């Protein structure tokens, strides 16, 4: 499978715990994006990487959220001290050109109890 891969598919955690998600983009894509989506809504932009550089971060990304792409390939998104409001689908996408033809993974569904 040469698409965008995300792991895990589902995560259930208790409030206050830390969680980390992984994204493996399409191999030739140097641009990687994280979005968050709640039921019935369109995805909301969180952050954007070009290679290993994090170029943009949404105001939605509080201090509890951090994303990395250390070698310009896979990326991780960590949420510290999770809150119930963090429950959502976390989507990763990659592209070859900036903000064009983004291809998405299947997402990580986070449930904070």
Partner 1 sequence: GESVGLHLPTLSVQEGDNSIINCAYSNSASDYFIWYKQESGKGPQFIIDIRSNMDKRQGQRVTVLLNKTVKHLSLQIAATQPGDSAVYFCAEAGDYQLIWGAGTKLIIKP
What does the binding site for partner 1 look like in residue numbers (CB under 8 A)?
4, 6, 33, 40-45, 48, 55-56, 58, 91, 93, 98-107, 109
Closest to partner 1 by CB, 80 or 103 = 103
Shortest distance (Å) from residue 107 CB to partner 1: 5
Cα 42 to Cα 59: distance, rounded to the nearest angstrom: 17
Residue 111: CB partners within 8 Å, gap ≥ 6?
10, 11, 12, 13, 87
Does 8 sit behind a cis peptide bond, omega within 30 degrees of 0 on the bond before it? yes
Could you tell me which of 103, 112, 111, 79 has the C-alpha nearest to residue 6? 103
Least separation in angstroms between residue 113's CB and partner 1 is: 20
In the complex, what is the shortest distance from the CB of residue 30 to partner 1, in angstroms, rounded to a whole number?
Answer: 14
Which of 98, 77, 108, 89 minimizes the C-alpha distance to 10? Answer: 108
Q: Which is nearer to partner 1, 68 or 103 (CB)?
A: 103
Q: How far is the CB of 4 from partner 1 (least distance, A)?
A: 8
């Amino acid at each position: 499978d040469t698409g965008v891969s995300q792991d895990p598919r589902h995560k259930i955690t208790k409030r206050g715990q830390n969680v980390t998600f992984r994204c493996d983009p399409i191999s030739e894509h140097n641009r990687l994006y994280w979005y968050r989506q709640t039921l019935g809504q369109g995805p909301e932009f969180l952050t954007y990487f070009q290679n290993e550089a994090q170029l943009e971060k949404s105001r939605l990304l509080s201090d509890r959220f951090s994303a990395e792409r250390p070698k310009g390939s896979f990326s991780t998104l960590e949420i510290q001290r999770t809150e119930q409001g963090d429950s959502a689908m976390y989507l990763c996408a990659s592209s070859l050109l900036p903000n064009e033809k983004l291809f998405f993974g299947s997402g990580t569904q986070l449930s904070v109890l």
